[in-house]
Structure 1
Amino acid sequence: MEVTEIAAIAALILSLLLLFKVLSLQSQLNDMKSDLDWMKNRPNTTGTNSINSPNMSQPETNDVDTDLEERLKFMLASNQKIKAIKVLREARNISLKDAKDYVESLERNI
């Protein structure tokens, strides 16, 4: 292999790595835009309210505060059900099944 071929291969590999990084950053930017839209459109509420859902078996999911519930509803209205499940799982450290059941119960009540 000549030096130019090696340099071309290295440049190609570097380009691919940079492309993946740009795509990752674009995804993060889209998530932040979604969060910002949610924050702009939410009503001004203070305090937290508990949600009493008969479908929930885990007690920690009953502690979902109003802001999180509003955010989940906004995501559902924006057709982001999977992201809503992920956000709930991260916020409350619950199982995938419990988060899915909770989000689906919210979806039915919208």
Structure 2
Amino acid sequence: MEVPVGLLAVAFVVGILVGWLARGTTGESRPTIIPPRSPAELDARVRALVSAGQKIQAIKLYREFHHVDLKDANDIINAIERGGT
């Protein structure tokens, strides 16, 4: 018994769509990060992120606010983590 090629193509497309939809519903969505309005707010948020163990998020936030490269932001966040600055 042969299965029509069109039926196989439809089954393939349906399988791809089901997999794509299932992956989209089980994955974590990223929270929207509202940019800080002032340097003082940035400082408070960066310190809170570092204290919560979210160093990468702190670096990203610092980079976006100050428009610095990754190394500079990482150096500053490391200094904050060590208790400086």
User: Normalising to structure 2: TM-score of the pair?
Assistant: 0.72
Give every structure 1 segment of 4 or more consecutive aligned residues whose post-TM-superposition deviation is greater than 2 Å: 1-4, 15-23
Question: For residue 27 of structure 1, what is the aligned residue in structure 2?
Answer: 29
Which has more helix, going by share of residues?
A: 1
Specify every segment of 5 or more residues in structure 1 that has no aligned partner in the other structure, as ranges.
37-47, 49-64
Sequence identity, in percent? 29
Q: 2:6 aligns with which of 3, 8, 15?
A: 3
- Give the paired residue count: 77
Identify the match of residue 12 of structure 1 among 8, 15, 22.
15
What is the CA deviation profile of residues 44-99 of structure 1, one whole-angstrom value per residue up to 9, with x for unaligned ones? xxxx6xxxxxxxxxxxxxxxx11001101111111110111111111111010100
1:104 has 2:81 as partner: no
Q: Indicate the structure (1 or 2) with the bigger Cα radius of gyration.
A: 2
Secondary structure at 2:82 match in 1: helix
| Superposition RMSD in Å | 2.4
Q: Which runs of 5+ in 2 are unaligned?
A: none
Supply the distance in 2 between the matched residues of 1:69 and 1:20 (Cα, whole angstroms).
36
